[in-house]
């Protein structure tokens, strides 16, 4: 087990130290706490005197990372709830009895608590990043320190720029046009900003991430930890380019993509190409071991390029996640593994669509539950019953989690934001779009992923699993879309992929028709509730609009 940055898995108290930056408020007070979990700040510092050493700058940057490590962001809402309902998974239960179901089943309103919580925390992370980006270049060491000090400060500045870009990317893909600021909040600032066009925000996201590319080290040149590497920056930037070049819901109520969208696909192609040529990253030879590593809290940066650190010494909510309880097979609370309520359910037709011999199926989908006696009990689907509606993601299962549980709901499993397999599939998609059809590089990238999925050598041509040659642009894109589902299912990107391809509504309706044909009473409602040109975005939180009359609402949500 490797030492982990931000949140160590070692039991010695000395390794549990995590310095966080507390909320940055308009009075410009910087709070630092000695341990991640302390509720009271360790001490208070003025922002004018705090940034005097590399250590202090590092602590400040860790505070920027910390905004991800929360149930309101990637610990729960943004990783799990916001990715469903889709064609491969849905929220358990067809009713609208709780906050989970209303947002997943496309009944979200501007007063929903989840979207407000995510909005606030993402802007908190941005404000922290703005302070770091302002203060590090003002440090005497930034200009006059030793070479190693200047190198490290430039790296820290790049990390803050990357994270600011990432948080704005999250806001844009969730809410569209949003308020945009690039300086730390002070009491004299305008607290009622209007929304900024997403294209302007995308320009800054790309600027920030390109700057980070220049100073953040490759994975092989850094410690094995959760701090971002050059490859991860490039991979996330490639994703940004694909989303910018894809469709999104505009304020005029229509789905549009930029006229120069191919430029962004070309930029994504270049970023993914450079990652592949670097030799820094590779596919794990075992698909199953990727997820066993996550469950065992093991970092493996060759394939798993960027992870959100999640950890709490006691299992309490702060900085924990629901990964492996909420999105895993049902596990009885009396089991020694701990409970898994399993609210995240797999569409059975998706499981049945895997090709024979695809080893990913039994890893990705759990057609079983874990009993109080730790027994793996397969669901009986031989009779005319609804047990297949209980199938769940199998990638993060309680019985793979090698440590005793600390809480029945919370776990220390990191959330993965980028795998090398995703880089390969982005390369294949970009090549196909830029060249108006697949070339040999597109085929090679997607076939490497497929070969690993079928247990084959990834570098050896294999007609039994490789895609057939001669596909046209549309057919190859359809195969990429399917392959992303088989490879990356339940990892937080399916619903967003369907949006950028402009097929979310049609896909949900087709899925509902298919499952109702499969079984007339199958509990799937997303196709009925989804409204085109509305539900591709979440509403601007009403509490934010109450405070800021300049914030307009997203299409379709006024009057709710």
What's the pLDDT tens digit per position in 222-271? 999 999 999 999 999 999 999 999 999 999 999 999 999 999 999 999 99
Q: Please check whether residue 543 is in contact with residue 116, taking contact to mean a CB–CB distance below 8 angstroms.
A: yes
Q: What distance in Å separates the CA atoms of residue 423 and residue 271, rounded to the nearest whole number?
A: 9
Q: What distance in Å separates the CA atoms of residue 184 and residue 46, rounded to the nearest whole number?
A: 13
What's the pLDDT tens digit per position in 37-52? 233 443 455 677 799 9
For range 365-388, the mean pLDDT: 90
Query: Which residue is listed with tokens 């990783």?
Result: 79
For range 68-91, the mean pLDDT: 97
How would you label 230-255 residue by residue, b for 16+ Cβ within 10 Å and e otherwise? bbbbbbbbbbbbbbbbbbbbbeeeeb
Residue 13 is predicted with a pLDDT of: 26
Q: What distance in Å separates the CA atoms of residue 98 and residue 78, rounded to the nearest whole number?
A: 17
Ordered structural domains, the chain, with CATH: 54-284+539-547 (1.25.40.390), 310-413 (no CATH), 419-525 (1.25.40.900)
Query: How does residue 382 score in pLDDT terms, banded at 50, 70 and 90?
Result: confident
Q: What distance in Å separates the CA atoms of residue 231 and residue 46, rounded to the nearest whole number?
A: 35
For range 423-446, the mean pLDDT: 98
Question: If you write DSSP's letter for every residue of 375-411 in order, what string do you get?
Answer: -EEE---SSSSSGGGG-EE-SS-GGG--S--S-SS-B
Q: Please check whether residue 413 is in contact with residue 324, taking contact to mean a CB–CB distance below 8 angstroms.
A: yes
Residue 559 is predicted with a pLDDT of: 79
249: enclosing H helix or E strand: strand 248-249
Q: What distance in Å separates the CA atoms of residue 103 and residue 483, rounded to the nearest whole number?
A: 27
C-alpha pair distances (Å), 124 with each of 34, 120, 185, 446: 20, 6, 10, 38
For range 385-405, the mean pLDDT: 91
Q: Specify the 3-state DSSP secondary structure of 126.
A: helix
User: Bridge-partner residues for 255, per DSSP?
Assistant: 249
Q: Specify the 3-state DSSP secondary structure of 304.
A: strand
CB-based contacts of 31: which residues, under 8 Å, 6+ apart? 21, 22, 23, 24, 41, 43, 44, 45
Residue 383 is predicted with a pLDDT of: 61
Is a pLDDT exceeding 90 seen at residue 11?
A: no
For range 15-36, the mean pLDDT: 31
Q: Specify the 3-state DSSP secondary structure of 10.
A: coil
């Amino acid at each position: 087990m490797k030492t982990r940055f931000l949140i160590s898995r070692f039991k010695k108290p000395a390794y549990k130290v995590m310095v966080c930056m507390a909320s940055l408020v308009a009075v410009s007070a910087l709070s630092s706490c000695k341990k991640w979990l302390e509720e009271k700040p360790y001490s208070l510092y003025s922002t004018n005197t705090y940034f005097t050493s590399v250590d202090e700058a590092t602590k400040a940057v860790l505070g920027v990372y910390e905004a991800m490590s929360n149930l309101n962001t990637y610990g729960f809402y943004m990783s799990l709830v916001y990715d469903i309902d889709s064609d491969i998974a849905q929220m358990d239960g067809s009713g609208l009895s709780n906050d989970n179901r209303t947002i997943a089943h496309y009944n979200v309103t501007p007063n929903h608590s989840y979207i407000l919580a995510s909005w606030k925390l993402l802007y908190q992370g941005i404000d922290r990043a703005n302070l770091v980006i302002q203060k590090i270049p003002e440090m005497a060491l930034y200009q006059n320190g030793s070479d190693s000090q200047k190198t490290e400060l430039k790296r820290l500045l790049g990390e803050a720029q990357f994270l600011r870009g990432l948080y704005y990317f999250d806001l844009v893909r969730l809410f569209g046009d949003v308020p945009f600021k690039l300086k730390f909040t002070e009491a004299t600032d305008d607290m009622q900003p209007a929304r900024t066009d997403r294209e302007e925000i995308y320009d800054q996201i790309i600027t920030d991430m390109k700057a980070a590319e220049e100073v953040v080290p490759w994975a092989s040149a850094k410690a094995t930890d959760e701090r971002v590497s050059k490859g991860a920056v490039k991979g996330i930037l490639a994703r940004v380019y694909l989303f910018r070049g894809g469709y999104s819901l505009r304020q005029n109520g229509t789905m549009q993509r930029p006229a120069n969208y191919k430029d962004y696909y070309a930029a994504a192609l270049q970023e993914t190409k450079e990652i592949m040529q670097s030799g820094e990253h590779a596919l794990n030879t075992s698909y199953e071991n990727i997820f066993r590593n996550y469950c065992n809290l093991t970092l493996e940066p060759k394939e798993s390029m960027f992870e959100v650190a999640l950890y709490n010494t006691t299992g309490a909510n702060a900085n924990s996640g629901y990964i492996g309880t909420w999105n895993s097979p049902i596990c009885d609370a009396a089991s020694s593994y701990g409970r898994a309520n399993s609210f995240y359910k797999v569409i059975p037709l998706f499981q049945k669509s895997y090709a024979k011999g695809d080893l990913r199926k039994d890893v990705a989908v759990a057609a079983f539950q874990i009993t109080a006696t730790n027994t793996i009990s397969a669901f009986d689907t031989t009779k005319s019953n609804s047990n297949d509606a209980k199938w769940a993601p199998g990638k993060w299962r309680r019985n793979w989690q090698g440590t005793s549980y600390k809480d029945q709901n919370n776990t220390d499993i990191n959330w993965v934001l980028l795998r090398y397999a995703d880089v390969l599939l982005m390369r294949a998609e970009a090549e196909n779009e830029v060249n108006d059809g697949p070339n040999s590089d597109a085929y090679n990238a997607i076939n490497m992923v497929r070969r690993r999925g079928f247990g084959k050598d990834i570098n050896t041509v294999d007609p039994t699993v490789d895609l057939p040659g001669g596909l046209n642009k549309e057919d190859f894109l359809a195969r990429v879309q399917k392959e992303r589902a088989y490879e990356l299912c339940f990892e937080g990107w399916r619903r967003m992929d369907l949006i950028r391809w402009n097929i979310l509504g049609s896909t949900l309706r087709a899925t509902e028709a298919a499952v109702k044909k499969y079984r007339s009473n199958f509990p799937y409602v997303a196709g009925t509730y989804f409204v085109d040109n509305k539900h591709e975005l979440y509403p601007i939180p009403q509490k934010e609009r109450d405070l800021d009359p300049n914030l307009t609402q997203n299409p379709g949500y006024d009057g709710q």
